Amino acid sequence: MNTPTHSNAPSLSTQLLHTAQAVDAVRQGRSLTEALTRCPAALRPGVQALSFTVLRRLGSAQAAREYLASKAPAAAVDALLLSALALLWPTAAGETAPYEEHTLVNQAVAAVKKVQLNSASFVNAVLRRFIRERDEITHLLLKDPAARSNHPTWWIKRLQQDWPTHWKGILQANNQQAPMCLRVNARRGSAVEYVARLAETGIAARSFEHPLLTHAVQLEKAVPVTQLPGFEQGDVSVQDLAAQWAAPLLVRGGSHSHALAPGARVLDACAAPGGKTAHLLELAELDVWAVDSDAQRLKRVDETLERLSLKAHTLACDAAAPQSWWDGQAFDAILLDAPCSASGIVRRHPDIRWLRRPEDIGALSGTQSRLLKSLWPLLKPGGRLLYATCSVFQQEGQGVMDAFVRQQEDAIHTAGVGGHLLPGLEDAADPLCSPGDGFYYALLEKRALG
């Protein structure tokens, strides 16, 4: 990343100003995605990139600001100061600093002047002191786990409790940029064929031999979707590797069950934005009902299906209240991709760790349990339900599943299928490790009673 030199390019101070506004919104509890919608479209790509960097280093930046100025300035000024400190933080081995340090300081001060003129000298002094004493300050601050890992302390402790062997790797993976992964439309071709198409356009990629990733492709370097051959025609979609487990698990079932028959009636609960809905339809001829409580997000399901020339019944309603929408016909299979902490997708959404609170996990696990209980009666005897969350916290995964199976005597948990996947820890010898995001999957079969 270099300082813009084109006369029409936005100044760094302007980009820092909008980055600080996005960071301030996250610190006030709003998502980065929402905050970026308020950024001018022409600035958004650069501001998003800067915001991602700042949020991945926010724990370190907050510790540095508290060390250099124990009394926080006004929120807008503080967000600018934190953004500059994050960008001045020492880079990892092999990385280059995003900007020359004195350029960054000068542009940060210029940005502060647009917000609160009388704070400019304060920000200038803090940033220049940080540069002068950076080695000493960072050595001191990195003794603190939150500053070192750039995660809240409660989050670190929960990972240590849930994953005593893997917690450090999860924290490290969360601070890396996630690779761009694709799902090749099974109706249009294979992953190997698409890798060859990409190579013809100069895009390096690889396919996988994993039985659940038969149509997955990972790019060596992310590119705009407009550069992907056949994207507009529906040949390929963007979807993380771990998310691509869902449709094959539901369609094929466990080792002792049969694949879903053509025309099988399938419910995709909490379907938006529609990647898993589309994947189901790419793999088999199914009668899919896609339900989501957010009508705006459900529109993305319709748009995705239209691009892929696929069809499903889409319903804007609460999956947990089937009495308001269910027609009484039981489903052969149900996919419940339940609302969760999203703690497994922090690589792609670095704001999540700063938005979540410890009490959220218990509330979310309660929602997950209610959804399971509400949807289970909609499943035919002999049918199957796939429970999924993009969380690495066991309370939202194995904890919810164990409690449900204990309470539901007609539910059989298919052993050896799914489980917890931990993000960005590619290790073929460890079934927990996944090159994709963090997820939890459990496949349940419904047996007939009596």
Length of the chain: 450
Q: Does the CA dihedral 170-171-174-175 come out positive or negative? A: negative
Give the Cα separation of 413 and 386 in Å (integer): 10
Give the Cα separation of 290 and 296 in Å (integer): 14
Which sequence positions are flagged as catalytic?
390
Who's near 257: CB < 8 A, 6+ residues apart? 384, 414, 445
Burial class of 306 by CB neighbour count within 10 A (0 to 12, 13 to 18, 19+): exposed
- What element of type H or E holds 412? strand 411-413
User: Whose CA is closest to 233, among 312, 311, 309?
Assistant: 309
Helix, strand, coil fractions of the chain, as percent rounded to 5: 45, 15, 40
CA dist 84 → 10, 35, 59, 73 (Å): 17, 19, 13, 14
Give the residues across from 237 on adjacent strands.
183
For 325, the token pair is 């929408």
Give the Cα separation of 211 and 444 in Å (integer): 20
For 217, the token pair is 């492709």
